[in-house]
Copies of this chain bind each other. A is one copy, B any other.
Amino acid sequence: MKRRQFVGGLAAAASLAACAREETNCGSDSAAGAQTFEWSCVTSWPPKFPGLGMAPENIASRVEAATNGRLKIKVYGGGELVPAFEVLDAVSRGTVEMGHDAAYYHKGKVPAAQFFAAIPFGMNNLEMYAWLYYGGGLELWQELYDPFNLVVFPAGSTGTQMGGWFNKEINSVDDLKGLKMRIPGLGGEVLRRAGGTPVTLPGSEIFTALQTGAIDATEWVGPYNDVSFGLHKAAQYYYYPGWHEPGPGLETIINKDAWNSLPPDLQEIVRTTCQAIVTDVIAEYMHGNAMSLKQLKSDPNVEIRPFPAEVIELLRGISKEIIDEMMATDPAAAKIGESYFSYLEDMSANTDISERAYYNTR
């Protein structure tokens, strides 16, 4: 189901010629006579959800403005056109031209994709973008998606998330035993080996599950998104930091045939807009988190706490085990993981004396 359309012809060209003769401002008419494209973009997010859902909306509106309407992108929320977690399939098959989601949703098919979203105790957003744009990460990501007929661009990050909302205090590693917590992906597997019971629930069901006691705890994103779901009304303890998602990256994926049909200037506009959205999304999250945290701090029913050191120690050890196993069994994960962890070692030596030292000194 391709939606590309060709618009133009003699009438438009004649009007452009008239415009050119009169030497009026023709720039805004540059689309006249040029090939135009109409794309669909499916996503994993509730429509226009703060941060996550606004990223593809902003990409679409800015691409339309920058191309003067030559590339129009219609954005669909998760489930509107295809199920929320089948974005990769739909774009890969060419059902739609474009998708916006997070790479760890593909872990069933491509375990190594998780390196491009979030690795427990791994890189935060600043470190990840250095690896992607300057450290060879993006080339590895593209190589991983080549068999799926996809072109990939980084397209936002939530920043370091929170550890989650708990209705049970976590004072020691024993408190993880039997803990029923909504936590998907690698983080969930870590919790399982620590004695807990990870649960996977779509965002829309979290509040009720937490309020009714069906789960003891949940992670979601951070103050900005958590408050919009009302999670602070369903649990008392808000733990930090988000050891399991230190700066998860979002992605724009584009069907290669659709991509190749774009002229180079439109390709450049899409590529550059996705990179601009990286700046925009982290700014939106940092701002939204700060404002929502201020609200939470004035709420007498909310207690904000760090995880105990022994809990972090245990989770760190298990995380390493699980990632080592993934790298031992999947050649793509081994190749990407080697690049990732070698880069993390060099990079954290740098962030230790710059960003980290500054936070601790200020």
Residue numbers of A with Cβ under 8 A of B are: 6, 8-10, 12-14, 16-17, 19-21, 23, 25-31, 33-35, 62, 65-68, 70, 121, 124, 126-127, 129-135, 159-162, 222-223, 240-243, 246, 262-266, 268-269, 272-273, 275-276, 278-280, 282-284, 286-291, 293-294, 297, 304, 306-307, 312, 343, 346-362
One complex includes copies of this chain to the number of 2
Residue of B nearest to A9 (CB): B20
Which B residues touch A350, using CB under 8 A? 223, 286, 289-290, 293
A interface majority secondary structure: helix
22 A–B pairs (Cβ distance < 8 Å), ordered by A = A10-B17, A13-B14, A17-B17, A17-B33, A28-B263, A28-B265, A65-B265, A127-B286, A129-B283, A133-B279, A133-B283, A240-B357, A241-B353, A243-B358, A269-B269, A272-B272, A272-B273, A290-B350, A293-B353, A306-B357, A356-B359, A360-B360
Query: How many angstroms between the C-alpha atoms of A129 and B121 in the bound complex?
Result: 25
**Complex contact B34–A29 (CB within 8 A):** yes
A268 touching B66 by the CB < 8 A rule?
yes
Contact yes or no, B293 A241, CB < 8 A: no
Contact status A282-B129, CB under 8 Å: yes
Which 4 pairs of residues, A with B, have the shortest CB-CB distance?
Answer: A27-B263, A13-B17, A134-B287, A130-B286
